Amino acid sequence: MTIESLKYHIKPNEFEKLPVDWEEVFGRKAPLFVEIGFGNGEFLIYLAKEYPNVNIVGFELSLTSFVKAQKKLYDEGIENVRLVMTDGRFGLRELFTDNSVKKVYVNFPCPWSKKGHEDRRVTAGDFVETLASVLEMGGEFELATDDERYASEVHELLSKSDFFGVEPIHINPDRKVKTRYERKWIEDGRTIHIIRAKKVKNVSVKRLTWEESAVHVKIESLNEERIPSLKGKVYKGKNDRVFVVKEVFKDFDGEKYYMKIISSDKGFDQHYNLILEKKRNFWVLKIDSTCQPYRTPAVKWSLYKIKEELSNQFARFK
């Protein structure tokens, strides 16, 4: 992979403000397509070539797939695609404004068939509402799967919604492009199911990251003896927000502490570091700029909760 191929990678967590201004990112105004879970990028490249006048955003969590896709896009000379490494459910909700996306594609997501794993599905939680929020009126959603039961469940989920008109499930359609998995599974004799739906009603969902938020807090009176005791503590708050202090490290001169944090907002997990630094007559607790998380409620809460734990003004924690 060359340095030039890195141009496709967009890091919205480092942006000052969300949602993303996609016109600025692409350098032009154009309709938006989104693919959630783009794998090695075959379908993205097809879309980019088939629709040169469309801006396309792909989401993927696999680093291996991400690197392969970047290389392929560069080798093909594609200019109208950008990639984001994050959970597609989160990215679709947080990075796009209402009524801004023309099409959303999901190709062969894991159906998570085991009982208790349903919340891991791409279509779980508030996905239908998010989809209806970001799609423009008449915008389309397409999902491909080889799992008949999952196809039926997704079709029923969309059909019960007031926001979509849903076509009958398409069986083994002759799509212009087939992913590597799709070709393999067709060769194995599996049946391919395609769900297509069109938005017919508007809705707006609440975003977790759009509000202004501080990246540091000031602690006027800090009890330094409490700092090591934070290690291993789990904090649970309202609306399913959680964070854990995994490690606490002290630098050599004793003027700075580092804390490794894992936070979760309704299942969206992030790893990041907080720095507690001593100033002349106060301390500052801030997010480490080398590993910027999205400013979700759990991330913001971790700053204020740790301040509360360490501050002498909160007597109940003494």
Structure confidence at residue 10 as a pLDDT band (50, 70, 90): very high
What are 146-161's pLDDT values in tens digits?
999 999 999 999 999 9
Q: Is 25 exposed, middle or buried (0-12, 13-18, 19+ CB in 10 A)?
A: middle
Q: Which of 86-90, 188-192, 286-290 has the highest mean pLDDT?
A: 86-90
pLDDT at 253 over 70: yes
pLDDT at position 1 is 60
What are 212-242's pLDDT values in tens digits?
776 789 998 898 889 999 999 999 998 889 9
Closest CA to 162 of 206, 208, 131, 118: 131
Query: Which residues in 200-239 belong to E strands, given as ranges?
Result: 216-219, 234-236
**140-176: b (≥16 Cβ within 10 Å) or e:** bbbbbbbbeebbebbbebbeebebbebeebbeeeebe
Answer yes or no: are the C-beta atoms of 263 and 297 closer than 8 Å. no
Q: What is the pTM of this model?
A: 0.89
* Mean of pLDDT values over 203-219: 88
* Mean of pLDDT values over 293-310: 94
Closest CA to 161 of 141, 175, 180, 176: 141
**209-233: b (≥16 Cβ within 10 Å) or e:** beeeeeeebebeebeeeebeebeee
Please confirm whether the linkage preceding 168 is cis (ω < 30° from 0). no
What are 39-61's pLDDT values in tens digits?
989 999 999 999 999 999 999 99
Residue whose pair of structure tokens reads 């739906």 in the numeric block: 197
Q: What is the mean pLDDT of the chain?
A: 91
Sorted by where each begins, the domain ranges of the chain are 3-199, 216-317
Of all residues in the chain, the percent with pLDDT exceeding 70 is 94
Topology of domain 3-199, CATH: Rossmann fold (3.40.50)
pLDDT at 184 over 90: no
What are 154-182's pLDDT values in tens digits?
999 999 999 999 999 999 988 888 777 78
What are 65-122's pLDDT values in tens digits?
999 999 999 999 999 999 999 999 999 999 999 999 999 999 999 887 666 667 778 8
Closest CA to 102 of 51, 31, 50: 31
pLDDT at position 77 is 95
pLDDT at 193 over 90: yes
* Mean of pLDDT values over 183-207: 92
**Full DSSP string of 83-135:** EE-S-HHHHHHHSS-TT-EEEEEEES-----STT-GGGSTT-TTHHHHHHHHE
Structure confidence at residue 316 as a pLDDT band (50, 70, 90): very low
Instruction: Tell me phi and psi for residue 260, to 5 degrees.
Output: -90, 125
* Mean of pLDDT values over 25-51: 96
pLDDT at position 179 is 79
